[in-house]
Amino acid sequence: MSADPNLIRLTACEAVDLLRKGELKPSELVEASAARIAVIEPQVNAMPITCVERARERAHALEAAGRPAAFDPAWLAGLPISVKDLDEVSGVRHTFGGSVIYKDYVSTRSSPMVDVLEANGAVPIGKSNSPEFGFNASTINALFGPTRNPYDTSRTVGGSSGGAAASVATGEVWMATGSDLGSSIRLPAAFCSVVGLRPSFGRVPRAAKGMPFNTLPVLGPIARTVADTALMMDAMVAERWNDPLSLPANPGEFSAGALARAKPRRIAFSPDLGVTPVDPAIAAVVAAAVARFQEAGIAVEEKTPDVASGIEVFHGIRGVNHLANMGPLVETYGDQVIPEIHYSVTRAADLPIERYAWAERERAALFFRLMEFFETYDFLVCPTAIMEPFPAEWRRVDMLGSHRFDSYIDWIAITFTISLTGCPAISVPCGFTAAGLPVGLQIIARPRREAELLGVAQIFEDIVGAFGRQPVDPKAPAAVGGGQS
């Protein structure tokens, strides 16, 4: 079957509408996706593992089965997606983010989230690139190398869902799964000018492995528009008894929330959350974008909640979890494990237990201060990333201007501080720097208020435009010009 190159220009909502009506076949979209992957991959390295034949078989099976008898708001009807290489797809190679330890491993079963998506008509066509074990905010690993930013292929896509964001931004797929502990959905979405949602914990079922009571890591959607993101969210939520944090799902809740566009009374804007410096070029783009909420009659006040302890708290909470989860990996595999994991485990082991106790107490206090803040403000907005995308080969950021970060991960404090609170947060494209590089706006809501969050994100997108709506063709550095701010 020949591929129609125009199909990649459809939004996910448009494509699913045509699929549901029978005006488009899943196999047509699979071929369009496969053709786009073949063209794009040599330039960006977003999806180093593909499963095109498996996708073709699934597309034909969906065509043979026909449409559901009743309308289902979660039914994706045969839409191709990418799955981050931290979640498993049965029969497909799985390397836990490009780890040499698992370079030859093939999954015998799918992760619960993938099962839910496939039951709702999604068609996985490949595994997106990630840093090893998702353990970095830059997508580069030993097996596959770096994923490159389609807006400037010399730059990073961020991490750890960097391959996911690039696969969506370039039109290889219409939607992608991501995971987010500190920044891993939101940062790549910002760097690639797409939309990424970190839901409340418990919304999307996690695999029965690791630390099931850990509230920091969550799974969520990445897409090119707010409506597409809401649609994917509806297709991936489910309650599963073997995930102890799992929440019940309300069919169609998130698409309905985006469509409702419930107008908030008051939004707080913080330029930096009080935890980090921000590149002046980024700050200017974000401030100008935030001011445009007033075009919808929404009051915006510059106000920062007291979350200044976020960095110290995060290192304590994340540290004890990594010591428990990653410590055995370091003991077993030694130098086959990346230096950042060694560093984190060693740092955590050296912290006295009293420091962990302090981190738990202060996390609770930080949370209650933020909830009190939300009694006055309906949403909090701030930058998603504090700088432009940096060179793709960098594994870490040490400095911004004259400010030196204490830890390799502290440059993402503006996102990981929010992770501590359990609040859902979405990154939406809000503009570009003078060098033509994307900037994202982070919008934060009260816990379990994803529907309202998607609604205010949709209001913002209506005002400024959906910058990531059309797939971008990768640009070489000379085509972009400029340098890092």
Those residues whose C-beta lies under 8 Å from the C-beta of residue 277, and which sit 6 or more positions away, are 386, 400, 401, 403
Token pair, residue 461, equals 């997108």
b/e per residue 202-238 (b: at least 16 CB within 10 A): bbbbbbeeeeeebbbbbbbbbbbbbbbbbbbbbbbbb
Predicted pLDDT of residue 483: 37
For 33, counting Cβ atoms within 10 Å of its Cβ (0-12 exposed, 13-18 middle, 19+ buried), the class is buried
Using alpha carbons only, what angle is made at residue 12 by residues 10 and 13, rounded to the nearest 5 degrees?
A: 100
3-class secondary structure, 103? coil
Q: Which of 224, 257, 273 is nearest to 450 (CA)?
A: 257
Indicate the domain borders of the chain.
Answer: 12-310+357-480
| Phi, psi for residue 172 in degrees, rounded to 5 | -65, -35
Q: Which band of pLDDT confidence, cut at 50, 70 and 90, is reported for residue 485?
A: very low
CATH code 3.90.1300.10 for 12-310+357-480: yes
Q: Residues 321-341: what's their mean pLDDT?
A: 92
Choice among 84, 167, 179, 246 that is catalytic:
84
Token pair, residue 13, equals 């909502």
Token pair, residue 378, equals 């309906």
Predicted pLDDT of residue 25: 97
pTM of the model: 0.97
Choice among 130, 183, 184, 246 that is catalytic:
184
Using alpha carbons only, what angle is made at residue 85 by residues 446 and 47, rounded to the nearest 5 degrees?
A: 110
Above 70 in pLDDT, residue 242?
yes
Q: Confirm if 162 and 188 have CB atoms less than 8 A apart.
A: yes
Above 90 in pLDDT, residue 484?
no
Q: Tell me how far apart the alpha carbons of residues 322 and 190 are, in angstroms, rounded to a whole number.
A: 26
Predicted pLDDT of residue 340: 87
Q: Which band of pLDDT confidence, cut at 50, 70 and 90, is reported for residue 153?
A: very high
Above 70 in pLDDT, residue 285?
yes
Question: Does the annotation mark 184 as catalytic?
Answer: yes
| Amino acid sitting at position 378 | D
Predicted pLDDT of residue 2: 76
Predicted pLDDT of residue 410: 96
Q: Tell me how far apart the alpha carbons of residues 40 and 472 are, in angstroms, rounded to a whole number.
A: 10
Question: Does the annotation mark 84 as catalytic?
Answer: yes
Q: Confirm if 98 and 142 have CB atoms less than 8 A apart.
A: yes
Q: Tell me how far apart the alpha carbons of residues 110 and 133 are, in angstroms, rounded to a whole number.
A: 17
Strand 403-404 relative to strand 122-128, pairing: unpaired
Q: Tell me how far apart the alpha carbons of residues 341 and 143 are, in angstroms, rounded to a whole number.
A: 17
Q: Residues 279-287: what's their mean pLDDT?
A: 98
Q: Residues 185-214: what's their mean pLDDT?
A: 97
Alpha helices, H only, 131-262: 162-169, 186-191, 226-236, 253-260
Predicted pLDDT of residue 479: 60
Q: Which band of pLDDT confidence, cut at 50, 70 and 90, is reported for residue 480?
A: low
Q: Confirm if 158 and 188 have CB atoms less than 8 A apart.
A: yes
